[in-house]
Amino acid sequence: MLSDDRSIFKVGATGYYDTLVHQAAALLESLVQDHPSVDGNKRVAFAVVDVFLRINGYSITADSKAIYDHMIKLVEARAFEMEHLVPWLQEIVRPRA
C-alpha cells in the first residue's frame, strides 16, 4: 500500500504536484520505500513509472545500466527521496515526439 498523502493514485486525487515528473518521482519513491513486494521493488517501481510516463506521452532517455546505477546509488546513500528523484527524472524524461 502506498504511504501517506504523496500518493497520486488516491481516490478523488486530481494531482498533488505541478508536473508529471513530480508525480512520477512521488510514485517511484513510495513504491521503493514501502516495499510492497518481498523482492524486486526497485525494478517493479521503475517499470511502473515508465508505464505511467508512457501513458502520459513521455519517455525515458537514459539506458537501463545508467538507470540501475543511479537508483542503487540513491538507495545506498539513503537518498531515495523526492528532493533527489525530481532533478534526476527531469534530466532523463522527455516528451515523446
On whether the CB atoms of residues 66 and 1 are closer than 8 A, the answer is no
Strand partners, 59: 94
- Please report whether residue 83 resides in a domain: yes
- Do the Cβ atoms of 30 and 7 come closer than 8 Å? yes
In-domain check, residue 79: yes
pTM score: 0.79
Question: What residues make up the domain containing 91?
Answer: 20-95
Give 24-41 pLDDT, tens digit per residue: 999 999 998 877 777 778
In a domain, 4, yes or no: no
Q: Considering only residues 59 and 3, tell me which one the structure prediction assigns the higher pLDDT.
A: 59
Q: Is residue 9 part of a domain?
A: no
pLDDT confidence tier of residue 92, bands split at 50, 70 and 90: very high
Output 45 or 1, whichever has higher pLDDT: 45
For 36-71, what is each residue's pLDDT tens digit? Answer: 777 778 889 999 999 999 999 999 999 999 999 999
How far is the C-alpha of 49 from the C-alpha of 56, rounded, in Å?
Answer: 11
Q: Is residue 51 part of a domain?
A: yes
Instruction: Give the mean pLDDT of 74-84.
Output: 94
Q: Number of structural domains, the chain?
A: 1
Give a yes or no: residue 8 inside a domain. Answer: no
Residue 49 counted as domain residue: yes
Q: Which of 44, 58, 43, 65 minimizes the C-alpha distance to 89?
A: 58
Buried b (16+ CB within 10 A) or exposed e, 12-26: eeeeeeeebbbbbbb
Residue 12 lies in a domain: no
